Amino acid sequence: MAKDKDLSYKNIFHKYLSGGLKLEKYQRVGILFLVIVLSGIFGWVYEFIFYYFDGGTGEFYMQGGNFLPWINIYAIGAVLIIIATQRIKRYPWAVFLIAMVVSGIVELVGGWLVYTMFDGARYWDYNTEILNFGNIGGFVCLRSVLFFGVSALFLTYVMVPFCIFLSKRMSKQAFLILSISLFTIFMVDEIYNLLASKVFGWPDAMEFYRSIGWKYLT
């Protein structure tokens, strides 16, 4: 495959929007891995800041169920939004609206399934939060989907193009080492806390952080 002669960010971004960008298989996989990691981190940072205010600005609260600053539902949502908006990314307004719908469905279905399958358990509850207008059962609210719509613009027009830019400018080996290493580290953390800690009775991230004084907003 012939390599692009112009590897400037501007040229790559233009081809990305127009659909004329050519990516090799390793680049697609690596970009996906980086997006999963970065979007999960983005979600953790957002919640860490938001729940500082939601908790009364008295202190910060730990978020998520992992040792590393990463929340899985943001990664899942990001991948679904990329798939849903792949053909319309030239139109920011359409990306915004579709992202709102996709994220709303993910929250509503995901929250309801957890609540139904685990005897009323909730990983989030908009009934108890600030700015919860448009709240549906505590699973989804208008504020959340509006934020996810705006976040989708950042995902589509900043995060993904940046990952593509890295895949074009870095050597194949360096890019794969970076993307696979980061993805593997976060997935090991996720699998440990989601499965291994429960199967073998090992202490999970929430137990660890509580033991050193971190608080979780309940």
User: If pLDDT is split at 50, 70 and 90, which confidence band does 69 have?
Assistant: very high
Torsions phi, psi of 86, nearest 5?
-55, -40
User: pLDDT tens across 41-66, in order?
Assistant: 999 999 999 999 988 878 899 999 99
Domain-located, residue 107: yes
Closest CA to 101 of 137, 138, 149, 136: 149
List the domain range (segments joined by +) for residue 168. 26-188
Domain-located, residue 214: no
pLDDT of residue 87: 92
Angstrom distance (rounded) from CA 217 to CA 174: 39
Domain-located, residue 152: yes
User: pLDDT tens across 123-173, in order?
Assistant: 889 998 988 888 999 999 999 999 999 999 999 999 999 999 999 999 999
Domain-located, residue 43: yes
With a cut of 70, say whether residue 15 has pLDDT above it. Answer: yes
How many Å separate Cα 160 from the centre of its chain? Answer: 12
User: pLDDT tens across 172-217, in order?
Assistant: 999 999 999 999 999 999 999 999 999 999 999 999 999 999 998 7
Mean pLDDT score of the chain, rounded to an integer?
Answer: 93
- Whole-prediction pTM: 0.91
pLDDT of residue 2: 43
Closest CA to 106 of 132, 73, 151, 63: 73
Domain-located, residue 19: no
With a cut of 50, say whether residue 37 has pLDDT above it. Answer: yes
Domain-located, residue 167: yes
Enter the DSSP assignment of 3: P
Domain-located, residue 205: no
Please give the C-alpha separations between residue 19 and each of 30, 37, 89, 90, in angstroms, as whole numbers. 19, 24, 9, 9
Is the separation of the CB atoms in 115 and 139 below 8 Å? Answer: yes
**Average confidence (pLDDT) over 28-46:** 98
Number of independent structural domains in the chain:
1
76 versus 55: which is more confidently predicted?
76
Domain-located, residue 96: yes
User: If pLDDT is split at 50, 70 and 90, which confidence band does 1 have?
Assistant: very low
Alpha-helical (H) ranges within the chain are 9-18, 25-54, 72-85, 92-117, 142-154, 160-169, 172-191, 197-200, 205-211
